[in-house]
Structure 1
Amino acid sequence: MRKPSPHLWTLILLIGSTLFIGSRLFSEDVAPPEEAFEAEIHQRPDSPQPAFPQIAEGENTGTLKLQVLDSRTGEPLLCRVNVIGADDQYYEPSDSTLKPYSLHRLGNRKEKGPFRYYGWFFYSRGTEAISLPAGKTRIEVCKGFEYQPTALTVEIQPGQTYQAEIRLSRKLNMAQRGWYSGDPHIHLDRKTDEQDDIIFDLLEAEDIKYGQILCFGDINKYQPTMTTQLTPQMRGMGEESIRTRKDYSIISGQEYRCKTYGHILLLGARRLVDADGPTTDPNNWPLFGMVADETHALGGQAVHAHGGYEREIYADFAQEATDGVELLQFAVYRGIGLEGWYHILNAGYRFPALGASDYPFCRALGDCRTYAWIDTPTATRDNSPSITEWNDSVRAGKTFFTTGPLVEFSVNGKRPGEEVAITTSGTTPNTVRVRVKGMSLLSPVEELQLIHQGKVVQTKRLIGTERTGQFHWDVELPVEQTSWIAFRAWGKSVSERENTELHTNPVYVVVDEAPYASPASLKWLIGKVTEQYEEQAAREFPQREQVLKYFEKSRSLLEQRLEKYEGEAE
């Protein structure tokens, strides 16, 4: 067997204006700098030292023939696999069209969560032949958030072939309950049928029902042509681009980017936005509100990426110009964070949040994803819902977003994005019944939180098998006025870093048909819009006055709302 090779890892970073295009997203194995290695990600919990991908050669090797099968159908199953040899190093098949997507070639972005054990996985179509050093070999298989991860230890003999079979079981079928998983932020080329097949293989391996495959442009110069975009989408856009394989669907969209205002996801639109001209400096003009208007006219929705980078998003939501915010990414709440999002909700705006991976600029495809509830469950329809139905549910906030845990959350029987109407009667206090039923197969949950109008009003610490299994929680919650209620679950990694996160969108409780907005949150948001106004006022650029008028309008709308609700409070 060959001596351990240098560390194998192509670290892909998106810095400034990205320098790679399309098929150049991945390259041959290269040795990373020492500081790039993060033991928590790649070191098996029961291993005394870190390990790396290797190649087995020489006389003291054997072959593992592995089959991963669906326990229900007996068919080969697309999945994610780690194979750890007797030397405690990682091994993979020598040749596969999925090889470029293994952890040490694509993704695995340094210093980004979730911080949990991933090994050095490769993607498999369920049948593999792997050369290994002789001795005890561990096989680890997982598939998304709903399958039970499974491991098997076998003995490899020199010069011999060992036949191993692993059957993987879906522990929880969320689609049967009306919940469908999706990753709305994926960057891969779509030029050919073969590339579509690869994308479907990756989605199926991670059990992501709906994938939105996005092109993205230069942050300093925008041109509305697909040939100028990175990860080009050459199969059409919007409904024209939809392809389906079994229960999995993909659609092409766009990420429109700049440094000044942030990034924005344009989902479901039938073409690229013109963005006010053949060549545009997106750092000056147009504003995202205008881009969103064009996207809506093209049949799509506009969602602030990366938490809005805490920039123009504060002006856009105030004018109800955009449709939501990609909040959970890298296992953290980015940009405006939970604080900013809670203030927006407290101000009386229904502004949905979601989770997405930004693959391959992340740890793994779908490491953060969104589950959307679609009214008609699979059991009562012939086919799975369309990806446009999934987008409609996302836009309505009928979702939760997660790095692993799964949940069914309701308030008086209503799900996230829905409304509970209460009529006050006599002197009896208003209460609602909150029900939580969940499960986490991949990472431990430490604490459950009930969020009411932006405050954690009740918590529950999990112990024992609840942390990596099923959990239940019922709460009777007093409600005095119109407000919102959401649920969060979280847990840290072994090194106390970001790992387990789940958050629902709110259920809205309307008391006596009376709307409400928090004056304190409105003042906080007015301050944020003012900060952004001052940043733009300090710059010199041709459209400066138009931009300032836009921010002034947003501030004025918030001030009018503040005047109304401060007056009612008095």
Structure 2
Amino acid sequence: MCDEHDLPPAVRRALADYRRLLAEHGPTWGEDPITYVRQIEADAFVRDEHRFFLALLEKVFARYPGASAEEIEERVRDMDLQEVIRDALAGRELPDNLAALRITPDGVRLEARAQTVLEGEWFRTTLMADSALDRPVTLTVDGAARELAAGGALLVPVTPASVVAVDGRTVGLGGLVRSAPAARLRVRAGFPCRWSVIGENGRGWYPEGAQPRRDGHRDPYFHGDDLVLDVPAEPLTVRVTRGMEYDTAEAEVIPEPGRETLVELTPRRLYDAAARGWYGGDMHVHMNWTGDTVGTPAQAAAAQHGEDLHVLNLVAGNVASERVYDREALEHWAGRDLPWSDATHLARLGVEYRSDLLGHFYAFGMHTPPTRYHTGFLGTADWPPNAEACRELRGLGAVLGYSHPFHVPFDEDAPPAAALTEGRNCSAREIVSGAALGLVDSLDVLNHSSIQATATVYRHLVGAGNRLAVTAGTDTMLSFNRRSSQSGPPGWERVYARLDGPLTAAAFADAIRAGRTFATTGPWLELEVDGHGPGDALDRAPGDRVTVTARCVGPEVRGLELRTADGVVAEGPPGELTAELTVDAPTYVVAVASGPAHPRTFHYSGAYAHTSPVYLDVAGRHVARPADVRWCLDYLDGLETMIREHARLDGERRLTDHLDLLDAARAVYRARLPR
């Protein structure tokens, strides 16, 4: 499926170029070393990005006290990331791909989780030399000497046969690996699935040619069916699942040395969305976005079918420079289903439009590539406003939604300033104006950033009279084997959209535009208001009563909520929740399901699902809750201040374009306030 030799020449050349960049520059592929590019250098070792950024900022502030947001962005370029990695891992168990050489006044000690290797297998890992001495030492690895500063850290590649010395004294590496006799394992489910084969100390085992991927729980995984892999002849855990509509089946096995052992496992289905007319999609997946490997169409196909992901939006986008990764694939396949698509699996090339001042958004279903993919990188102007790209992409047939919108949780009663975090980042800052002007269709309430913050902003926007759908985008990257949830399988969060007929790109996009959606980390979630579902609008008279019911399926759910523009109106345990509401004024109804951390859930905050609204109009009037409208107006004032203070704009005319957009949005919101 999508053999690389059969790919279009331009796509083959692009993949070859990405491999060259990886070989020359490592996982950053030579991108401009802004903050999140520096993080890429640490992704293989530091799973918790918050610990990484905390350690990085501590280094910056120790050297540059009182640095501003703009100064921080410049200073991170100079930081020694080897020490940052060491500090971020302090007090934590080392990952399986890292050993530590602790150099202290009491001596030198190797700290490692011994990894199992097959007899004759070549093995390589990374050694972190960590000095607690107040003087420099000389670290020699395989004849190459390097100075390790006082209190410093160095990361170097090693094998079990490497010769390591500290100040001329050899250090044994016997604890790195242990040898085991080889066996073969065949895994079979009867259809494509996601498999994990785990040995001692968490070592993952993979079929030949499979990428050694780790998911958001740091578990190894690969996709396919009837696969054979070389494994040790010792206890192994085998797990199989197929995305969120399935449970996980597990078996313990001890393969016989020198022989093939068959493991047949079939995951139990929890729900069948397509049978109900609902299809789940991931609106934000990168095939390539720098990384420790190069993503290919064949890998995307295997992942989509192995996850039973109905809709896959592979987005072309830049990182920190002019280069737009996978642009060649978009230019070839724009407007067409990708070759591995079938009746229940649809893949398209889309776009992530990116501005680190105004926000990033996905585009799905366009028939032609756009002329612009980003603004504001490499010191270029933060112009034009995102609104211009929205207009162009919508004109090309795309459905749009802001991605990974807000990053820091805040209370529901928090002022707009809580959402307008300082500095350049990918927060969805232009969503409030874009929603008012009808330029966007959705918000990725389910994302890898703060679901809680995004859901709060979403409900402010809907309460202020904007009709936006809930969507989901994981920002998964096939070019990373280890990047927390972003190296996880596509579709670990999904937007489910209700279609009235067969699955097509146009039908899925239309369902999002109509708001017939819910988004989830895994649970199935239904909402009915007098028999109507998300996206529907009911016109009622004051005093009318409606019956509202939410239903959920999924072992990770601990609670259900029914909410209107005024907040939570009913809550209860998982299963089914019903309430009778009296309609006194225009409002909306949404359902929310939530739960704690769970093996089925890859988001750090736990399980979550949120529907798009059923709208309750009164005598033809739409919801426009004054408190939410004023929240949006205050937000626009804060955004104007941010643009004036932080935008890179060469000329008053370009500032005026931003201000005119904000004024147009203000006029819409003010018209919704009571007269």
| TM-score scaled by length of structure 2 | 0.65
| Counterpart pick for 1:446 among 548, 555, 558 | 558
Is the CA contact 1:526–1:555 (under 8 Å) kept in the aligned structure 2? Answer: no
State the distance in 2 between where 1:446 and 1:16 align: 43
C-alpha deviation, 1:566, in angstroms: 2.3
* Native 8 Å contact 2:196 2:222 kept in 1: yes
**Gaps in structure 2 of 5+ consecutive residues:** 1-25, 35-39, 47-84, 97-111, 121-178, 290-294, 406-425, 478-482
Mapped to 2, the partners of 1:516 and 1:54 lie a distance apart of: 61
Q: Which amino acid aligns with 1:91?
A: G
1:211 Cα shift? 0.5
Structure 1 residue 529 displacement after superposition: 0.6
Q: 1:40 to 1:272 in 2, by over 3 A?
A: farther
Superposition pairs of residues 92-491 of structure 1, within 5 angstroms: 92-96=205-209, 99-100=210-211, 102-103=213-214, 108=215, 117=217, 119-134=219-234, 136-188=235-287, 195-219=296-320, 221=322, 228-234=323-329, 236-243=332-339, 244-245=341-342, 247-275=344-372, 283-307=381-405, 309-330=427-448, 332-333=450-451, 337-360=454-477, 362-364=486-488, 365-376=490-501, 384-424=502-542, 429-441=543-555, 444-453=556-565, 455-462=567-574, 471-491=575-595
Task: Report the CA distance shift for 1:252/1:556 in structure 2 as closer, same or farther (over 3 A).
Answer: closer
Q: Deviations over 1:127-167 (max 9, x none)?
A: 22332232x33211111011221011223333443222112
Q: Within 5 A, what are the aligned runs for 1:551-562?
A: 551-555=659-663, 557-559=665-667, 561-562=669-670
CA distance in 1, matches of 2:279, 2:363: 20
Equivalent in the alignment of 1:515: 622
Q: CA deviation at 1:506?
A: 0.7
Asked if the contact 1:516/1:565 (under 8 Å) is kept, the reply is no
Question: How far apart, CA to CA, are the structure 1 residues paired with 2:31 and 2:557?
Answer: 36
Q: Deviations over 1:479-533 (max 9, x none)?
A: 2121111011111227995121111111111122223311211111111111111
| In structure 2, distance between residues paired with 1:535 and 1:15 | 30
CA–CA distance in 2 between the matches of 1:213 and 1:478? 44
RMSD: 3.6
**Over residues 214-239 of structure 1, what are the superposed CA-to-partner deviations in whole Å (9 max), with x where a residue is unaligned?**
11025554xxxxxx411334262432
Aligned to 2:149: none
Distance change (3 Å), C-alpha of 1:137 and 1:321 = closer
Which structure has more RCO (C-alpha within 8 Å, separation ≥ 6)?
A: 1
Q: Whole-Å Cα distance in 1 between the matches of residues 114 and 635 of structure 2?
A: 46
Are 1:78 and 2:195 matched, yes or no? no
Change in 2 beyond 3 A, CA 1:393/1:118: farther
| Cα distance in 2 for residues equivalent to 1:386 and 1:395 | 14
Q: Distance in 2 between matches of 1:326 and 1:207?
A: 21
Q: 1:207 offset after TM fit, Å?
A: 1.4
Contact 2:365 2:398 (8 Å CA) reproduced: yes
Q: 2: distance between equivalents of 1:178 and 1:274?
A: 35
Residue of structure 2 in register with 1:531 after alignment: 638
TM-score (norm 1): 0.77
Q: Number of aligned residue pairs: give it.
A: 491
Residue 359 of structure 1: how far off its partner (Å): 1.0
1:36: Cα distance to partner? 5.7
Whichever residue aligns with residue 206 of structure 2, its letter is: P
When structure 1 is superposed on structure 2, of 153-162 and 319-328 the one drifting more is: 153-162
Letter in 2 for 1:252: L
Shift in Å at residue 385 of structure 1?
Answer: 1.2
Pair 432,30 (structure 1): closer, same or farther in 2 beyond 3 Å: closer
| AA in 2 matched with 1:507 | V
Partner of 2:72: none
Structure 2 CA distance for aligned equivalents of residues 153 and 532 of structure 1? 55
Change (3 A) 1:40 1:258: same
Cα 1:265–1:560 change in 2 (3 A) is closer
Residue identity in the other structure for 1:477: L
Structure 1 Cα separation of the partners of residues 45 and 336 of structure 2: 42
Partner of 1:321, secondary structure, is coil
Q: Which runs of 5+ in 1 are unaligned?
A: 1-10, 20-25, 43-49, 70-75, 109-113, 222-227, 377-383, 463-470
* 8 A contact 1:182–1:209 mirrored in 2: yes
Please say which of residues 233-242 and 344-353 is displaced more in the overlay. Answer: 233-242
Q: CA separation in 2, counterparts of 1:200 and 1:151?
A: 25
1:89 and 2:197 are equivalent in the alignment: no
Task: Could you list the structure 1 runs, at least 4 aligned residues long, displaced by more than 6 angstroms after superposition.
Answer: 11-16, 29-32, 37-42, 50-53, 276-282
In structure 2, do the counterparts of structure 1 residues 410 and 36 end up closer, same or farther at CA, with 3 Å as the change threshold? Answer: farther
Cα distance, 1:448 vs structure 2 = 1.1
Look up the SS of the partner of 1:367 in the other structure: coil
Equivalent residues of 2:280, 2:495 under 8 A apart = yes
SS of the aligned residue for 2:438 comes to coil
Q: SS where residue 557 of structure 2 aligns?
A: coil
